[in-house]
Every structure is written in C-alpha cells, then in structure tokens.
Structure 1
Amino acid sequence: MAEDAQPVVATRRDVGVWGAALLALNGMIGAAIFGLPGKLDAAVGSFAPWLLLLAGIGIMPVVVCYADLAGRFRESGGPQLYAGKAFGRFVGFEAGWMLYAARAASLAANAHVLAAYAGALWPGLNAPLTIIVTISGITLVNVIGIRRAVDTLGAMTMIKLAPLIVIGALGLLLTPIPAPALPQFSAVEGVALAALYAFVGFEAATIPAGETRDPERNIPRALLLTVAGVTLLYVAVQMAYSASGLGENDAPLAALAARSIGPVGAVILGFAAIASVLANQLSAVTSISRITSSFADQSLLPRWFGKISPRFATPVNSILAVGGIGLALALSGSFISLAVISTVSRLFAYFASIAAIPRLDYLEGKMRWGRGIILPLVAGALILWASSHSNLAEWQAFGAFLAIGALLYLIAGKGRRSAQ
C-alpha cells in the first residue's frame, strides 16, 4: 500500500434479526393505526377487522417476494439493488429514487403529524421548533451509529406497542365481539386501499442489508414474522374498536382508551402516538439514507453521498442529506406534493422488485414455477390493481418525479464518463 493511501472505512454489521424486524415494524406502524379504525368502522362496520385481515393476507405475496430477494444479497440497497441487478442500472436507480421520494415525503409529513399530536397535549408544541428538534434529533441518532438507532427504535417500539396491545386486549375482554356482517362491495372498495396501505413500509428492513448480520437469513425471517405480527395487532385493535360502538372519530384509539381505561387513557395514547411517529421517522431515516449511499457506491450519485464516518462507521453524508431534505420539505410545506405520490411511487418500487424475481432466475439459469413465476404474478396483479385506483393528479406527479430521477441519472452518467 502506498504511504499516502487511506484505509477503506466500511460499515459494520450491527443489525440482527430483531433489529431488522424493528426496522420493518416501524416502517409499517406509523400514524395510520391511530386514525384508521374509525374510518374503517364507519365504512364497513363489523367487517372492518376482517378487511384488515384480508389486507394483511393480500400483502403477504409481496412480502414473500421481498423475502426471496433478500435471501440472495448481502449488500445494502433493497428495491434499488434488486431491480438494478435484474434490469440494469437505470431501472434500479429509478426504483430506488421513487422509494426515496416516497420515504422523504413520509418523513416530512409525519413531522407535522407528530407536532399536531404534541400540540394536543400542550398547544405550544405544535410549532416549527418541534419539527426542527425532531428531525435534527433523529438525524443525529442515525449519524452516531445504526446500533444506537436500532436500540432507540426498540425503546420507542415498546412505548408505542404496549398501549395498543393493552387497549386492544381490554376492548376484547370488556365488550362482546359483534358478528361480522358483509357490507356493500362499493363500501369495501372505497376503503380497501386505505387498509392495504396500512401494511406498506416493511421494505425498510431490506435496505441496510450491508449492516445486517447474516442478511440472507435474518432479513427474510424478520419480514415474514413482522408482517404476520402486525396483521394480528391491527385485527385485534380494530376488533376492539368495532365492538366499542364508538363509530367514526378523528382520534379513535384515544376515544377507545378513554372508554377502556379512563381519561388517563387518552393521554397515554397521545404519548403512544408521538412515540409511534418518532419511531416511524427514525426507521425512515435509517433506511432511506442507505439508498443514496448505495447510489454513490455504484457511481449513480456523487461519491460524497457514500462517505463513511471513520468514527461511527455510518454513511454520514447520506444521513445528513436525508435529514436536511426532510426538514426543508417539512418547513416549506412542499412535502404535500410528494405525499400525494408517495403511495404510487412506493408501488412502482414494489412492482420493479417483484418483476426482478423471474428475471434473476433466468439470469441464474434456473426455473421455479411456484416462487419464481406464480407468486410474482399474484403479487404483481395486486400492485397493478392498487395502482389503478390512483387519480390523474397522482400519476402526473409520479411522472414528474420519474423524469427528475432520469435527469439526475443522466447528469451522474456524464460525470462517470468524464472520469474514465
């Protein structure tokens, strides 16, 4: 080695199966569970728990596809890596870029949700300063190490899950469960997507695979266990709420907690909601910062994004970039336009990943009819069905961000060619 050569700094594999499960769980459970029960109950009544069960079962083919893909790779990147290996750098870049846009918008939007919940406990907290402190703190935790981020996730997960489990259990014990009545199909169709979207976000566990111990084994296990567990939790909470007869409510679980536990229950659920949003944001920064870092490693973005901190062994510049973008979007209000396309862009990344399975099998010279062809077809059909329910404005915004990604890719390509 030359005297002036610098040692290569690499990330550490600090995440085990439970750490990967925490990333998946907190990618899924954010603010939705705190607002969805009232809307579902108003739309489909006692059928609402079973609709959530069907949504959990419906998303499982997509999850199994991701588990299959995660079992093939040790590198970070997730959907961007899968689509890139199957269809080339450009498709992989666009898959990662659209997922990045969706998660960055979610980070910004959830900062406002958190400030609103905090303001309900103390009005002075519903202010820009809360947003600044929240995103800055989450960014700092990620910079000083993914193990610290996962440890923090573990603590916040317990804070947010415990009240949900308690009110769900109390609701089931104290109130008779009504027999499900089949609603009008139009009513189910109107809220089916909302129920399905409550389960997205599990892919967060696949992105930092390069920092996960034995990722080919641990990430698939984490995905399957987490989605199954979250499905059961959602069904139990919804069943308890539907049995309560509270109907539509802007803060349904706070109302349920007040009925089950008393006035202190609403306060407890307020803190649980804040912890839930914080954990979702922490998971978002942990995962999406690895997308830009992976882009830099593949020369799809400037190398600056791939810099690893010598002290903390984390992709520090990518983490700071995510925090800065999320903060700028949240404070400017322009996050709304991203939030509109967040679901469609996420579905694009899902579809690209699902389509990668038969393509990778072909490149590897193998044929699997079950998990290689039939399963991706089922999962892909679900994604296409969900996408067909998006409106024109969402598709226009989706196209615009897809074009922006293509432009960035071309700019990076010129840099690669000039460096050769």
Structure 2
Amino acid sequence: MHDRHTRRFGLGTATCLVMGNIIGGGIFLLPASVAPFGTVSLVAFGVLTLGAVALALVFGRLAERHPDTGGPYVYAREAFGDFAGFLSAWSYWTMTWVSNAALAVAAVGYVHVLVPGHASAGTDLLVALAALWLPALANFAGTRYVGAVQLVSTVLKFVPLLFIAVVGLFFFDPHNLGPFHAGHGSALGGMSAAAALLLYSYVGVESAAMSAGEVRDPERNVGRATVLGTVGAAVVYLLGTVAVFGTVAHTKLVNSTAPFSDAVNAMFGGHWGGTLVAGAAVVSIIGALNGWTLMSAQSPYAAAKDGLFPAPFLIKRRGVPTFGVLAAGILASALTVVNYVLGTGGVFQILVLITTFSATVPYLLAAGAQVYFLLTGRRDQVRPARFARDLTLALAAFGFTFWLVAGAGYAAIYQGVLFLFAGILVYAWMAARRTTRQTATTDPAGPGAARTDDQEPARLAG
C-alpha cells in the first residue's frame, strides 16, 4: 500500500476530483436536451440524483474496507475473483480514454465561441490535442499538480454555474416553463425518455475511490469526498437546469444550442453570455480531462499489481502511474486524429457508444460486491448496526446502475459487449503468462498444484 505520508489528496482536493469529473462539458447542453420532454425531466433528474447519491454512499462504504487505489476493480476482484476484477478494470480503462477524446472534441466547439472566425480541421485537431496533453502534463508532474489543477478548475467552473443558477431564481418566470409533459404518451414515459439522456450526468462518482491510495485518511475521506462531490454536482445540475427552464422561454429552449448563454442574456441583456459560458465550459472540460487522465491510469495500475494488466502500467512517479497516463493520452490522441483527419466520424460515434456501456460494468460489479460482502457474513467489516441500511443502499445502487444499462440503448450495449468480450483475449494472455511464471518458481509437481497454492493468498490479499 502507498505510504500514508506521501498521500497528497486531502478532503477538499478529493471532493474537487469527484465534482470535477462528474461535471464535464455536458451540463452546458443538458437543459436544451431535456426541454422537449417538459418539466417532467426535472422530476427525472431528482430521481436520478437519489440513485447517484446511493451509489456514492456504497463507494464510501466499500472504501472503508479497501482504501486502495483501483476502487471498483479492487472490490470486484475481492468479491468475485480475478476475471471479474479484470472485466471491471478493462471496461473502466476503455471508458476513460475514449471519453477523454470525446471531451477534447467538445472543447473545440467552445473555443470557437471564444475565438470567432473560420478554423480549419487542422487547427481544430491541434486545439483538441492541446486539450488532451495539457492535463496529461499536470499528471506527469505528480499528484500535487493534479490536485492543484483540479482545485482551481473546479472553483472556476463551479462559481459561474452556481451564480447563474442562484441569480436565475430571481429572474424565474413560471410562464417560461412550458407544459409539465410535452411529449407523446404518458408522463412516466416522458420521464423515462428524459432520464435516458440524463443518466450519464453522474458518471465519475467513483473518482475518489479510484484514487484512494493517494487520499489522506481514505477510510474516512473517500466516503465523505464521494458524497460531498456528488451532492455538489447535483446542486449545480438541478439549480442550473431549473434556472434555465425559468429564464428562457420553452419554445426557444427546445431549439437552443447554448441554453446557459441564452439564460445569461435573458437575465442581463446583451450578448456577452455566450463568451462567459464558453469560457466556463473550456475550464470545465480541461478540469474534467485533468481528473479523467488520472483515472485512466489508476485502474490498470491496480490490475497490473495483481498481474492482470501488463507490467509497464506499474510505472509510477510522484503518485501518478505515468505509463498509464501516456498510454491513455496516445490512444485518445489517435482517436481524435481519426475523428478530424480521416473524417470517419462513424468510428468515433461507435467508440463513444462503447463508453456508455463500459461505464456501467464497474458500477454493477461494485454494487454487487457490496451485496456479496453483506450477505456472506462479513458484516463485522461494514458495521453490523448499519446492515439493513447498507443492504438497502447497495440494492438501490445496483438498481440505479441497471437503469443506466437500460438507458444506454441497444446500439451501445451491442458495441460495448463486443468490446468487453474482446478483453477476454487480453485476460487469457495475462493469465497464461502469470501461470507460466508461477509454475517456474514453485514445486514442479504439477501446474495445477502450483496454481492453487499461489493464487489463493493472492486472492485473499486482493
């Protein structure tokens, strides 16, 4: 385990890591995305928030048992064995570097608002690559710099968003809200349709657990940071969406391409809202990329410690697994180049669909692990007085994640499962190498005996 004296993330930084990773660039379009369904989408957002908080609380409970880097991977492997742990790590790793490419592409659109004028595909590509590699440089510098960037960027994006959300309430006009249910069919159907767009707003709740090895007093602070960061993001999401709904007329909002900009212009007049919001969006995305770049290295690092990922992912400097940062940066850059240079947007869209499904696999396994720990008599390690509450939270978190899978859609599940199963070849290769090494270093009585003797202690240590 990492020496506690070198853990650099206090409660505040860990909270910013969670909040910064949850709030990326998507919030700036969310109000317009769900406006066609009517204000029933606000109810959907409220229900989703409860599910996200339940998942956050479960990660906090699990971190009390295993305050180690790797979070969901560690819990899945401890509960269900190496293969489940590998699937969690593989899915999470896939999700991170593809998401980073998508975030970098999203940043380009907001840079265009800040710097008007015609831009070539080559210029856009350079801007996107800069968005990827500037946060990577902070990660190469170590966790101290990652924490500093995360703290500053979270404050810089949280303050303007909260300002719009709070001030917007003073300009709130109920006539702008439009109908409660604007779509066809039942209100429940409208709520489910809106929820499908909102579901992934809370991906990132696991960020403190994933970096538990770098958090001071992780048994206490990981859980606190996870809940505080999730609730902080929820406040910005919910108040911000309500403010936009109440300041921009519904007929205009459903066709808006910059709802927060329209809200600022409606409140104060003029056309400067677009510049303010675009600046906040760029800061928000760079902050999210800073945190997600660290996440992209933590999961394979934890798996590599157990021989489930290639050994180079173990290379670590100043608290950051640098090879993992480099690998994710190169893969995300390659995907970004494909998007701009080759013009094969279809490939990019397919990979983004894969991330939609991949994010759910570690969550399902983590929630399932908590249920397993509670039902197999390990209640002494998760506080017996809270057994009923913890089991209820674990089931709620599992249900929330199951809803995430359902909301992903057929295409995302199809593409995601194919990519997940492709990882089986990687697992087979790593498992074969590990078995060969174990056979060579133990009693040559037989591979089966060597494997049984060696793997059981490794499993218990997981």
- TM-score normalised per structure 2: 0.84
Residue by residue over 1:301-321, the C-alpha shift from the partner in whole angstroms, topping out at 9 and shown as x without a partner, is: 221110123xx3432111111
Q: 1:389 to 1:176 in 2, by over 3 A?
A: closer
Does residue 410 of structure 2 align to residue 392 of structure 1?
yes
Aligned-partner residue type, residue 90 of structure 2: W
Q: Distance in 1 between matches of 2:143 and 2:113?
A: 31
Does the CA contact (< 8 Å) of 1:138 and 1:281 recur in 2?
yes
For the residues of structure 1 that align with 2:217 and 2:236, how far apart are their CA atoms? 28
Does the 8 Å contact 1:9/1:313 carry over to 2? no
Find out whether 1:255 has 2:268 as its counterpart: no
| Cα distance in 2 between the residues matched to 1:313 and 1:275 | 24
Give how far 1:258 is off.
Answer: 1.9
Counterpart of 1:198? Answer: 201
Deviation at 1:259, TM superposition (A): 2.0
Q: 1:286 aligns with which of 294, 310, 332?
A: 294
How is 1:241-280 mapped onto 2 (pairs within 5 angstroms)?
241-244=244-247, 245=249, 246-248=252-254, 249-261=256-268, 262-280=270-288
> Are 1:411 and 2:429 counterparts?
yes
For 2:151 and 2:24, the matched residues in 1 are separated by 14
Distance 1:255 1:285 in 2: 32
Change (3 A) 1:226 1:400: same
Q: Is the 8 A contact 1:59 1:196 kept in 2?
A: no
61, 64, 69: which one aligns with 2:62:
69
- AA matched with 1:23: L
Q: Does 1:348 align with 2:361?
A: yes
Which residue identity does 1:158 align to in structure 2? Answer: V
Alignment of 1:42-81 (within 5 A): 42-45=36-39, 47-81=40-74
- 1:182 is displaced (CA, Å) by 4.1
- Residue 374 of structure 1, aligned match among 388, 392, 404: 392
Contact 1:105 1:336 in 2 (8 A): no
CA radius of gyration, larger in: 2
Q: Percent identity?
A: 25
TM-superposed deviation, 1:363: 5.1
Stretches of structure 1 that go unaligned for 5 or more consecutive residues are 1-7
Q: 2:22 aligns with which of 13, 18, 28?
A: 28
207, 213, 221: which is aligned to 1:218?
221
AA of the residue aligned to 2:257: D
Q: Which residue of 1 aligns with 2:324?
A: 318
Using the TM superposition, name which of 171-180 and 151-160 deviates more. Answer: 171-180
The aligned length equals 410
Superposed, 1:91-106 pairs within 5 Å as: 91-106=84-99
Q: 1:306 maps to what in 2?
A: 314
Residue by residue over 1:354-405, the C-alpha shift from the partner in whole angstroms, topping out at 9 and shown as x without a partner, is: 0001222355543764144332222222322332244332222122111122
TM alignment of 1:71-220, pairs within 5 A: 71-122=64-115, 123=117, 124=119, 127-177=124-174, 182-183=180-181, 184-220=187-223
> What one-letter code is carried by the residue in structure 2 that aligns with 1:325?
L
- 1:340 deviates by 0.5
Q: Give the secondary structure class of the aligned counterpart of 2:359.
A: helix
**Counterpart residue number, 2:342:** none
Are the aligned partners of 1:23 and 1:202 in contact in 2 as well (CA < 8 Å)?
A: no
Which segment drifts farther, 356-365 or 198-207?
356-365
1:328 to 314, 331, 334: 334
DSSP-derived class of the 2:113 partner: helix
Q: For 2:302 and 2:27, locate their aligned partners in 1 and report how far apart those are by CA, in whole Å.
A: 31
Q: Deviations over 1:244-287 (max 9, x none)?
A: 12422111111112222332222111110111111111110011
Structure 2: gaps of 5 or more residues: 182-186, 340-346, 439-462
TM-score when normalising by structure 1: 0.91
Deviation sequence 1:147-191 (CA, Å, 0-9, x none): 111101111112212221122222111233568964222222211
The offset of 1:10, in angstroms, is 10
SS at match of 1:206: helix
1:171-230 Cα offsets, whole Å, 9 max, x none, are: 111233568964222222211122232122111221111111111110100111121222
Counterpart residue identity of residue 31, structure 2: P
The 2-side partners of 1:92 and 1:180 are apart by 47
| Distance 1:313-1:56 versus aligned 2 partners, 3 A rule | closer
Tell whether the 8 Å contact from 2:371 to 2:395 is kept in structure 1 after alignment. Answer: no
CA distance in 1, matches of 2:67, 2:397: 24
